[in-house]
Amino acid sequence: MQSLRSLITALRSLAAAASIASLAMLVPAGMLQAHHSPAMFDTSKTVTLEGTLKLAELTTPHAWFWVSVPKDNGETQLWGGESGAGGGNVIAAVARKSNMSVREFFAPGQTVTMIIHPLRDGRPGGEVVSIRFPDGRAYVALPVGTPRN
């Protein structure tokens, strides 16, 4: 009888531990969802930036574009643009349609016009809406938080 009670106690402890572990796994999922929220961007506004593409970080699920934009005082300011779902995969498809490699399509030093939804906190960055090149090429981004199918 004592061993049965011990077994029941052990099983209850195991069940409790499994329940706690299951709940703990939900927390990162919630945090991950918050990470993909577009709340940091003011989607009611757009900012058009004209400058030089400094770097394209072509990763999945997000890509980052860094553009050096001239200021009125002659200095430049580096702006960052985050691209949403699909990141590198979507970008590769866009480049293929232009018969270019991704590195050619987003080669640093090119003049670009980047349209973004700015960061709410005023820092120089935002969610990429589009990036256009003088030769007519364009990258139109998926919004941050768009589910990937």
Tokens 């080669």 correspond to: 107
Cβ–Cβ under 8 Å, residues 130 and 141? yes
d(CA 43, CA 144): 11
Whether the pLDDT of residue 13 is over 60: the answer is no
Cβ–Cβ under 8 Å, residues 96 and 88? no
User: Which pLDDT band holds residue 110 (cuts at 50, 70, 90)?
Assistant: very high
Half-sphere exposure of 111 (CA within 13 A, CB side): 5
- How high is the pLDDT of residue 88? 61
- How high is the pLDDT of residue 5? 62
d(CA 67, CA 32): 27
Whether the pLDDT of residue 103 is over 50: the answer is yes
Which range among 67-71, 82-86, 127-131, 132-136 shows the weakest confidence by mean pLDDT?
82-86
Please state whether beta strands 125-132 and 76-83 pair in parallel, antiparallel, or not at all (unpaired). Answer: parallel
Cβ–Cβ under 8 Å, residues 64 and 83? yes
d(CA 120, CA 130): 19
- How high is the pLDDT of residue 23? 41
The whole-chain average pLDDT of the chain stands at 78
Whether the pLDDT of residue 72 is over 50: the answer is yes
